[in-house]
Amino acid sequence: MRDDESVPPAPRRPALFAAATLTALCLGATGCGGGDTAQARPGPDGSAAASPSPATASSPGPASPSPVHSGPAPSKRPASRSASAPATVSGPLSGKTVVIDPGHNPRNRLHTAEIARQVDIGTTHKECDTTGTSTNSGYAEAEFTLDVAHRLRELLRAQGAKVVLTYDNDRPFGPCVDERARIGNKAGADAVVSVHADGSAVGNRGFHVILPAAVRGGNADTSKIVGPSRDLGTRIAGLFVRATGSAPSNYIGGNTGLDTRKDLGGLNLSTVPKVFIECGNMRDPKDAALLTSAGWRQKAAQGIADGIRSYLNG
């Protein structure tokens, strides 16, 4: 089951890049640097070399589809306002604004009627939001995305960026997908990244980055962001490989780590460069062991941060 906005993907296009190209792009990209270096292997849309087994990884428990958190403890950071404080340090990203969109909300499951409300995504109507997926042991995707978002915010602020979160555990549900897009637009973001983890079949491994398709209809017009978003997504994919040791998805994107979709409101309604990243498959035990590892989540945040920096400095 795909957790991002709950709509099955359209038929995939032939692969445009080989997985090896992602690494080449990473190594040749301007500003490509920093971060923990590992072997090779991303998440929900690619697989390649076997992932390292982090010492901190925990093994998923018996099958239990419930999204209720029972895995690693949620972040202890106090809730803060969505519009985070401006960066106070000087660095390579000074003057840049990055919006981080943690997928779903841990309390969406308590507000099923509210998140089922239909919203306009330009070309059609879809649910306000969804609950997301979880590991078999109950570690919720929404807990994962908030944790990675917090780590990513710290890394970007340390480089001088102004960082805005679409939400930070400060609301009972949502935001809806259309509001998530508007937050990035209103901030005038130089880049927006929506953080997710997939919920697919066992054996489907790896990460993938979702790019906006060329869409025009209603309030949706992605014509100005398709090119920049592909550049952003390609750089993130290449640097995610290097930082995490993960491989591109073996079930989406033809081993490129890239997937283009036109059914996601968060992309359709964006007027600034934006991508989604599915960091791994929560329903595969091997991927789940990575996703539940605090050490690996730090590497994931580093890979995303490196990709953003490469794009903004490129």
Q: Which of 127, 141, 143, 278 is catalytic?
A: 278
Identify whether 5 is a catalytic site residue: no
- Helix locations, 62-220, DSSP H: 112-115, 141-158, 177-186
β-pairing, 118-120 with 97-102? unpaired
- B/e letters for 211-241, b = 16+ CB within 10 Å, e = fewer, are bbbebeeeebbbeebbebbbbbbbbbbbbbb
Distance CA 305, CA 284 (A): 25
DSSP state of 140: B
Distance CA 51, CA 32 (A): 22
Residue 70: partners with Cβ closer than 8 Å, 6 or more residues away: 137, 138, 139
* Rg, Å, the chain Cα set: 17
**DSSP output for 188-232:** T-SEEEEEEEE---TT---BEEEEE---EETTEE-TTTHHHHHHH
Half-sphere exposure of 304 (CA within 13 A, CB side): 37
Contact status, residue 279 vs residue 196, Cβ threshold 8 Å: yes
Distance CA 231, CA 135 (A): 31
The encoded tokens of residue 294 equal: 């605090």
Distance CA 171, CA 219 (A): 26
Distance CA 71, CA 1 (A): 20
User: Which of the residues are catalytic?
Assistant: 278
